């Protein structure tokens, strides 16, 4: 078994010190992924049940009883309340799976869009840097549509590293409307 991290959708609060817990570690799953999220498959076998995970708070060493709910091999919930875990397992249904995957599909599309926009901006930057200086000056005075956002990411005295980091940061902020 391997020490896997499970990312929580909403943090669990330590009852002793108030520390927010965003990830837990568990050795209960096969080595499919290093990190798991709600909605991930944790095993190649069909598992339905609740795993108890004693979690030691990183701030105060308090032991928190956590319950990971598995429905047909999917992580469906993580809670610090055993009754809530039992109810989550008992009440989980097809609609819950569809809603879970709608969220995951939306996140996948958002990440893909950010990546696509980042690649487009970097290709635009490459094209801009390969232009003759005279054409660059004309573009700055009257930029074509595809260069307008690039110019928002750069200033005169910026080096390449700062320009690219600005492009990446602005792409991640979802400010791109190309």
Contacts of 68 (CB under 8 A, 6+ apart): 6, 26, 28, 50, 51, 53, 75, 77, 78, 85
Per-residue model confidence as pLDDT tens for the chain (178 residues): 445 677 787 888 998 999 998 888 766 555 545 677 777 777 656 678 888 888 888 899 899 898 989 888 888 888 889 999 999 999 988 888 888 788 778 878 888 887 887 888 888 888 888 888 888 888 877 777 777 777 777 765 667 677 777 777 766 665 444 3
pTM value? 0.55
From residue 71, give the alpha-carbon distance in Å to each of 27, 100, 109, 133.
18, 13, 25, 61
Dist. CA 76–CA 95, nearest whole Å: 12
Number of neighbours of residue 153 by Cβ within 10 angstroms: 22
Number of neighbours of residue 100 by Cβ within 10 angstroms: 17
Task: Return the HEC string of 97-139.
Answer: HHHHHHHHHHHHHHHHHHHHHHHHHHHHHHHHHCCCHHHHHHH
Residues in the chain: 178
Q: Are 107 and 99 in contact (CB under 8 A)?
A: no
């Amino acid at each position: 078994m391997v020490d896997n991290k499970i990312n929580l959708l909403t943090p669990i609060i330590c009852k002793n010190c108030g520390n927010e817990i965003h990830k837990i570690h568990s050795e209960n799953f096969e080595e499919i992924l290093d990190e798991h999220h709600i909605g991930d498959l944790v095993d190649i076998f069909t598992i339905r049940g609740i795993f108890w995970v004693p979690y030691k708070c990183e701030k105060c060493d308090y032991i928190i009883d956590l319950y990971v709910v598995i429905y047909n091999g999917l992580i469906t919930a993580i809670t610090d309340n055993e009754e809530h875990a039992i109810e989550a397992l008992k009440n989980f249904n097809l609609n819950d799976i569809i809603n879970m995957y709608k969220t995951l599909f939306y996140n996948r599309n958002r990440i893909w869009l950010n990546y696509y926009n980042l690649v487009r901006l970097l290709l635009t930057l490459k094209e801009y840097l390969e232009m003759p200086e005279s054409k660059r000056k004309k573009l700055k005075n009257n930029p074509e549509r595809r260069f307008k956002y690039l110019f928002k990411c750069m200033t005169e005295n910026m080096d390449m590293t700062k320009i690219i980091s600005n492009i990446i940061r602005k792409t991640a902020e979802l400010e791109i409307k190309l």
